[in-house]
């Protein structure tokens, strides 16, 4: 192993893997409707898992007091409750694991001066955001404990967006370290003239991922099981609504699914243009593989999205869709970083 691939870069890589894992765990927690099964936020004692029958009955009794149980799951048995409780507990326990995986190695790395000072700000911001994410997670859960049977789509979007911001900053720091130490060859085709195009692509993908939380939070994806038409129509039928026009794009399911689908097509056209701009340059370069891999992951994302539409969003495809979005996100960030640090 190259001596420059030190404990700092390995630590960042492990953090990235854990963050990717918790995004998927959170996705399944959401898909399985497990997120409201724990009705309290106990940062320390909450790590304890109920074992005795008394403890289980106590937790179940707390769940019975919220609207989700009374209006949706009133026939739920204790055994069924244990399943959804596990996933919410596991999600929170894994978040604590990430906190430990950040803090404990950080103390070691700082003590032995394994982190260069130019990366201090990034590392500190990652820690602050991890702490903020824990608070946002409870803020999201709290929105579903009274007067509704699900969490607020606004808070869900905030929670998901923060997860990707943390992942992005961790990845950005790792790639910066690898580039600075010449562990990645950046004699690439992603020269400065592509920088603006790549940042637009990255911003559009970030928006699409964040907006996907509104699709999930309002169950908009279940409204139509046809594609590209909307039940035989080019445009979806929109009934008169009392919601103010701008709010429709965040609360009206028909508006939300239309924007999500349309924006995917916009990104696709942008990707076609990017490919044309890059491949018209006839010079052979190893970084062609990056754009090719990105093309594959993005087309796979569309295929998964369309398949989910026709099959009424089965959980395994929904989870694959969210997992693949991580690859799309990281590759778009990587391409932008290459262009940003490319030789002039």
pLDDT in tens, 23-66: 999 999 999 999 999 999 998 889 999 999 999 999 999 999 99
Instruction: Read off φ and ψ for residue 233, nearest 5 degrees.
Output: -110, 145
Domain ranges of the chain: 1-184, 186-344
- Is the predicted pLDDT of residue 165 greater than 80, yes or no? yes
Instruction: Read off φ and ψ for residue 230, nearest 5 degrees.
Output: -105, 95
- Is the predicted pLDDT of residue 241 greater than 80, yes or no? no
pLDDT band at 342 (very low <50, low <70, confident <90, very high): low
- Is the predicted pLDDT of residue 202 greater than 50, yes or no? yes
Q: What is the mean pLDDT of residues 247-270?
A: 94
pLDDT band at 194 (very low <50, low <70, confident <90, very high): confident
pLDDT higher at 284 or 95: 95
Cβ-contact 192, 339 below 8 angstroms: yes
Q: How buried is 196 (Cβ within 10 angstroms: 0-12 exposed, 13-18 middle, 19+ buried)? A: exposed
pLDDT > 90: what percent of the chain? 78
Confidence (pLDDT) at 1? 41
Confidence (pLDDT) at 284? 47
Quote the CA–CA distance of 39 and 66 in Å, as a whole number: 8
pLDDT in tens, 212-225: 999 999 999 999 99
- Is the predicted pLDDT of residue 330 greater than 90, yes or no? yes
Quote the CA–CA distance of 295 and 269 in Å, as a whole number: 12
Cβ-contact 155, 213 below 8 angstroms: no
Quote the CA–CA distance of 285 and 276 in Å, as a whole number: 15
Tokens 């929170």 identify what position? 92
- Tell me what the pLDDT averaged over the chain comes to: 91
Query: What does pTM read for this prediction?
Result: 0.93
Quote the CA–CA distance of 198 and 206 in Å, as a whole number: 12
pLDDT in tens, 97-119: 999 999 999 999 999 999 999 99
pLDDT higher at 328 or 275: 328
Q: What is the DSSP track for 180-243?
A: HTT-S----S--GGGHHHHHHHHHHHHHHHHHHHHHHHTTGGGS---SSSBTTBSS------SS
């Amino acid at each position: 192993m190259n001596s420059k691939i030190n404990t700092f870069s390995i630590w960042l890589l492990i953090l990235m893997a854990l963050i990717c894992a918790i995004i998927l765990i959170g996705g399944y927690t959401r898909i399985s409707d497990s997120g409201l099964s724990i009705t309290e936020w106990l940062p320390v004692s909450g790590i304890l898992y109920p074992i005795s029958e008394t403890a289980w009955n106590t937790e179940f009794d707390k769940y019975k007091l919220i609207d989700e149980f009374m209006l949706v799951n009133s026939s739920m048995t204790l055994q069924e409750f244990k399943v959804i409780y596990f996933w919410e507990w596991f999600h929170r326990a894994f978040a604590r694991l990430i906190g430990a995986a950040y803090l404990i190695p950080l103390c070691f790395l700082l003590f032995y001066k394994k982190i260069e000072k130019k990366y201090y700000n990034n590392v500190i911001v990652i820690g602050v955001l991890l702490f903020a994410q824990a608070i946002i997670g409870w803020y999201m859960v709290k929105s579903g404990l009274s007067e509704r049977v699900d969490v607020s789509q606004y808070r869900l979007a905030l929670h998901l967006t923060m997860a990707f911001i943390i992942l992005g900053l961790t990845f950005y720091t790792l790639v910066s370290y690898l580039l600075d130490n010449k562990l990645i060859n950046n004699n690439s085709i992603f020269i400065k003239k592509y920088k603006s195009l790549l940042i637009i692509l990255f911003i559009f993908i970030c928006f699409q991922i964040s907006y996907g939380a509104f699709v999930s939070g309002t169950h908009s994806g279940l409204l139509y099981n046809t594609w590209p038409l909307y039940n035989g129509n080019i445009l979806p039928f929109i009934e008169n609504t009392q919601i103010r026009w701008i709010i429709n794009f965040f609360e009206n399911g028909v508006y939300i699914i239309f924007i999500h689908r349309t924006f995917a097509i916009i990104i696709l056209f942008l990707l076609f243009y990017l490919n044309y701009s890059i491949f018209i340059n006839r010079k052979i370069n190893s970084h062609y593989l990056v754009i090719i891999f990105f093309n594959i992951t993005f087309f796979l994302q569309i295929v998964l999205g369309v398949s989910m539409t026709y099959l009424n969003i089965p959980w395994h495809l929904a989870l694959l869709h969210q997992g693949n979005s991580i690859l799309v996100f990281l590759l778009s960030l990587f391409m932008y970083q290459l262009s940003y640090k490319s030789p002039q």
